[in-house]
């Protein structure tokens, strides 16, 4: 089963950006962790990051066209991008929204995600482990639904 792990703005700066909030894991380490976790679970994981909203929209459209599952950290776009939300609503397979930090324990403007209403589930505040949990969920869901994981 193909799973896209898509990351929004500034996530390419992991390991150097606000380490007190996002931790010391580098983006390269996050990519490796997601790919390795996917291999363990029998998933074909593709990890991408962009600071360009139109690029993320294209990837979401690609996932919708393929019927692929998505793990999405929309980052700042979570809070205001109706375009990202609408692209997520087009997905035909599960969508797990992931946030490294607990968005509900941060600034008020971060408390609401426009994406959450169209997500299958949301994981926040568990650091990069949230990505592992999202992939495990998708693999177990595929097994229950009888799709190859």
Query: Each residue of 20-72: pLDDT tens digit?
Result: 766 668 999 999 999 999 999 999 999 999 999 999 999 999 999 999 999 99
Domain span at residue 11? Answer: 2-145
Q: What CATH number is given to the structural domain containing 34?
A: 3.40.50.9100
Task: Give the chain's domain count.
Answer: 1
Rounded to two decimals, the pTM is 0.92
Residue 61 known to be catalytic: no
| Binding-site positions for substrate | 73, 79, 86, 100-101, 110
Query: Each residue of 92-117: pLDDT tens digit?
Result: 999 999 999 888 877 787 788 999 99
Catalytic residue among 4, 22, 54, 137: 22
Other Cβ atoms within 10 Å of 67 Cβ, number:
12
- Residue 87 contacts by C-beta under 8 Å, 6 or more apart in sequence? 56, 57, 60, 61, 64
E strand or H helix at 98: strand 95-99
Residue 22 known to be catalytic: yes
């Amino acid at each position: 089963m193909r799973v896209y792990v898509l990351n929004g703005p500034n996530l390419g700066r992991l390991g150097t950006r606000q380490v007190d909030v996002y931790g010391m894991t580098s983006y390269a380490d996050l990519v490796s962790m997601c790919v390795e976790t996917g291999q363990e679970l029998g998933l074909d994981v593709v990890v991408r990051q962009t600071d360009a909203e139109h690029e993320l929209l294209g990837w979401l459209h690609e996932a919708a066209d393929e019927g692929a599952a998505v793990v999405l950290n929309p980052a700042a776009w979570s809070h205001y991008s109706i375009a990202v939300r609408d692209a997520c609503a087009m997905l035909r397979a599960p969508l797990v929204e992931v946030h490294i930090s607990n968005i509900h324990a941060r600034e008020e403007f971060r408390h609401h995600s426009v994406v959450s209403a169209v997500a299958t589930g949301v994981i926040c505040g568990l650091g990069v482990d949230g990505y592992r949990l999202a992939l495990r969920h998708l693999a177990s869901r595929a097994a229950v639904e009888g799709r190859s994981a």
